[in-house]
């Protein structure tokens, strides 16, 4: 078993981003600028946004965290997004999910200028991704591709099985692995909670991407020997035994599956770190205007 080490890969790529950002700043007189909007005080969201802001600082970006109380109206939030869209000093904008129930996340996503949509969720970016055109790729799938590329894993002609069909990970991951690119050129099966004979489907995977949001969902009897297993899950459980008071688990039973896999990502220390890298790369590309030009 070989470890797909997100800590090692993300550190290397962040160093590359840092050098590119320094060159951009020297040329333009300003830093790439990412704005994150956080509504409410969800614990997981607070942690994610703090990590994104911290990583921006590490690579030489400017970052701004805008916080709103859970009572903010959808109209007020959209008005702020439109203000950011029109600000040429801001390159990337993310609105951290989940949002309060009275705010439609699709409406908010579509309000973001697709040229600043560094999360890669806007319909224009998703549509261009499907057509294999230049775009901002959703950060988690993008991070996974960067990891596969770093380790030189040949995906062409492989059977890939994606477990989970979310718009954030599962669905875009299935499209990206099927595209005529490298990594890519897989034959892809997208499975989910309603898939019949799920175990048999996953067993066919040379590459298995688990993104279903359930602790240890993918077990050893679902994975064939030699498979490449990518665990997207981050499931948090209270644990008095840890300093933080909680323990993280993936969607894959790591201890058992690692005995069969040829490559596997750990949790933590795997895909989560690569998601940050995907976001940073998208923000740098937005600043440089290499995909859509300067907004």
Same domain? For 80 and 146 the reply is no
What is the bridge-based pairing of β-strands 159-163 and 187-191? parallel
In a domain, residue 239? The reply is yes
224 in active site: no
The single residue of 96, 158, 231, 288 carrying the catalytic annotation is 96
Same domain? For 98 and 203 the reply is no
Same domain? For 110 and 143 the reply is no
Same domain? For 196 and 71 the reply is no
In a domain, residue 17? The reply is no
| Helix, coil or strand: residue 2 | strand
| Helix, coil or strand: residue 273 | helix
What's residue 247's pLDDT? 83
Same domain? For 196 and 247 the reply is yes
Same domain? For 153 and 104 the reply is no
Which CATH number goes with the domain that contains 51? 3.40.50.10860
Same domain? For 33 and 151 the reply is no
What's residue 66's pLDDT? 97
Same domain? For 245 and 178 the reply is yes
What's the domain range around 183? 139-274
**Residues 265 and 2: beta-carbon distance below 8 Å:** no
Which CATH number goes with the domain that contains 149? 3.40.50.720
What's residue 239's pLDDT? 82
The single residue of 14, 52, 116, 158 carrying the catalytic annotation is 52
What's residue 295's pLDDT? 53
231 in active site: no
Q: What distance in Å separates the CA atoms of residue 295 and residue 286, rounded to the nearest whole number?
A: 9
What's residue 237's pLDDT? 83
Same domain? For 90 and 191 the reply is no
Same domain? For 156 and 256 the reply is yes
Under-70 pLDDT residues of the chain: 294-295
Q: What distance in Å separates the CA atoms of residue 16 and residue 215, rounded to the nearest whole number?
A: 34
Chain position carrying tokens 């550190």 = 11
Question: Of 142, 191, 187, 208, which Cα lies nearest the Cα of 169?
Answer: 142
119 in active site: yes
In a domain, residue 128? The reply is no
Structure tokens at 7: 């800590």
**Residue-wise pLDDT tens digits, 45-96:** 888 899 999 999 999 999 999 999 999 999 999 999 999 999 999 999 999 9
Cα 16–123–274 angle (5° rounding)? Answer: 30
Same domain? For 238 and 204 the reply is yes
Of 59, 81, 114, the residue at which a domain comes to its end is 114
In a domain, residue 290? The reply is no
| Helix, coil or strand: residue 224 | coil
**Residue-wise pLDDT tens digits, 151-175:** 999 999 999 999 999 999 999 999 9
Same domain? For 183 and 106 the reply is no
Structure tokens at 221: 């009897």
The single residue of 119, 231, 251, 253 carrying the catalytic annotation is 119
In this prediction the pTM is: 0.94
What's residue 36's pLDDT? 97
In a domain, residue 291? The reply is no
For the chain, how many structural domains are there in total? 2
In a domain, residue 228? The reply is yes
In a domain, residue 172? The reply is yes
In a domain, residue 127? The reply is no
């Amino acid at each position: 078993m070989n470890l797909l080490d997100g800590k090692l890969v993300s550190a290397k790529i962040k160093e590359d981003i840092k050098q590119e950002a320094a060159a951009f700043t020297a040329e333009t007189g300003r830093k790439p600028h990412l704005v994150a909007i956080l509504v409410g005080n969800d614990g997981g969201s607070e942690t994610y946004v703090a990590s994104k802001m911290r990583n921006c600082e590490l690579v030489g970006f400017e970052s701004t965290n805008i916080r709103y109380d859970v009572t903010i109206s959808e109209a007020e939030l959209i008005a702020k997004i439109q203000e950011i869209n029109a600000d040429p000093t801001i390159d990337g904008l993310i609105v951290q999910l989940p949002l309060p129930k009275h705010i439609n996340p699709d409406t908010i996503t579509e309000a973001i200028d697709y040229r600043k949509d560094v999360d890669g969720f806007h319909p224009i970016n998703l549509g261009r991704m499907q057509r294999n055109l230049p775009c901002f790729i959703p950060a988690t799938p993008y991070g996974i591709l960067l990891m596969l590329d770093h380790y030189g894993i040949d995906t062409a002609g492989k059977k890939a099985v994606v477990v989970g069909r979310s718009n954030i990970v599962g669905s875009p991951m299935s499209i990206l692995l099927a595209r005529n690119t490298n990594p890519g050129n897989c034959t892809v099966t997208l499975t989910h909670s309603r898939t019949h004979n799920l175990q048999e489907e996953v067993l066919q995977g040379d590459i298995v991407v688990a993104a279903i949001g359930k602790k240890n969902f993918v077990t050893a009897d679902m994975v064939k020997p030699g498979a490449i297993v990518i665990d997207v899950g981050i499931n948090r459980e209270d644990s008095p035994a840890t300093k933080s008071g909680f323990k993280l688990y993936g969607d894959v039973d790591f201890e058992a599956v690692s005995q069969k896999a040829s490559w596997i990502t750990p949790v933590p220390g795997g895909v989560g770190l690569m998601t940050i890298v995907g976001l940073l790369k998208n923000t740098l590309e937005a600043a440089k205007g290499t995909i859509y030009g300067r907004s």
